[in-house]
């Protein structure tokens, strides 16, 4: 059991029958009345963020969470098949667990959070940026290729479609931000 004095960013605990992670917290001691802790909590399964206030000294049931590196192998009707990079154990996780999973190519390393006591995967995160090759896009208009404000659709090697600047051509390798699917930069080869 943990108390509000043990609160720190990233602490996972049971709250209303679900596992939540602390995004931010603030201990408040008003001039009048008891102290309390104002928190922002993220539901580990759904990703929904809520705000809650705890009275000072309240006990919560903390949950032990482990982060492990897994390598993406392939996709099938069961979901995404991944392999632990240390034990080489293979598991299957639902596609919905990894946001923007269509940007993942075989061999990509992802980080999965596990409920340590139940060995149950809770969340999975891709790296912040991935490098992918452009396999199809339209040619940029002459004279409009220097600006990065004009965008055009492009298909990358995983089959995902993103928007890229006009100066990007087929065969270019680019970095993509996995959180918002935005173009980051062209990779020099």
- What is residue 141's predicted lDDT score, i.e. its pLDDT? 64
> What predicted TM-score, i.e. pTM, was given to this entire model?
0.74
Mean pLDDT (the chain) is 89
Confidence of residue 123 (pLDDT cuts 50, 70, 90): confident
CATH of domain 129-186: 2.40.50.140
| pLDDT (mean) for 171-178 | 94
**Where along the chain do its domains lie?**
2-62, 65-125, 129-186
Confidence of residue 51 (pLDDT cuts 50, 70, 90): very high
The pLDDT tens digits of the residues spanning 129-151 come to: 999 999 999 886 666 555 557 88
Fold equal for 2-62 and 65-125: no
CATH of domain 2-62: 2.30.30.30
CATH of domain 65-125: 2.40.50.140
The pLDDT tens digits of the residues spanning 2-36 come to: 898 899 888 889 999 998 989 899 999 998 889 99
Beta-strand (E) ranges in the chain?
Answer: 2-3, 12-15, 18-28, 36-43, 49-55, 59-62, 65-76, 79-84, 90-93, 109-115, 120-125, 129-137, 151-156, 161-165, 173-177, 182-186
User: Residue 80 pLDDT more than 90?
Assistant: yes
- What is residue 149's predicted lDDT score, i.e. its pLDDT? 73
Kindly state the tokens that stand for 127: 């790296």
The beta-carbon contacts of 34-43 under 8 Å, at least 24 apart in sequence, are 37/4, 37/7, 39/7, 41/15, 43/18, 43/19
User: Residue 64 pLDDT more than 60?
Assistant: yes
- What is residue 124's predicted lDDT score, i.e. its pLDDT? 87
């Amino acid at each position: 059991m943990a108390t509000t004095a043990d609160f720190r960013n990233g602490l996972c605990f049971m709250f209303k029958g679900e596992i939540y992670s602390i995004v931010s917290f603030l201990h408040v001691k008003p001039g009048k009345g008891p102290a309390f802790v104002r928190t922002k909590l993220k539901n580990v399964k759904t990703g929904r963020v809520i705000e809650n206030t705890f009275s000072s000294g309240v006990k919560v049931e903390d949950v032990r969470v482990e982060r492990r590196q897994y390598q993406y192998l392939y996709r099938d009707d069961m979901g995404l098949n991944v392999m632990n990079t240390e034990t080489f154990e293979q598991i299957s996780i639902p596609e919905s667990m990894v946001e923007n999973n269509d940007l993942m190519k075989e061999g990509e390393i992802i980080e999965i959070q596990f409920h340590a006591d139940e060995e149950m995967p809770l969340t999975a995160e891709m790296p912040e940026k991935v490098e992918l090759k452009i396999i199809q896009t339209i040619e940029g208009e002459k004279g409009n290729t220097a600006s990065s404000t004009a965008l055009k659709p492009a298909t990358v090697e995983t089959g995902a479609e993103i928007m890229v600047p006009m100066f990007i051509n087929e065969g270019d390798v680019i970095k993509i931000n996995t959180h918002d699917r935005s173009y980051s930069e062209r990779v020099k080869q």
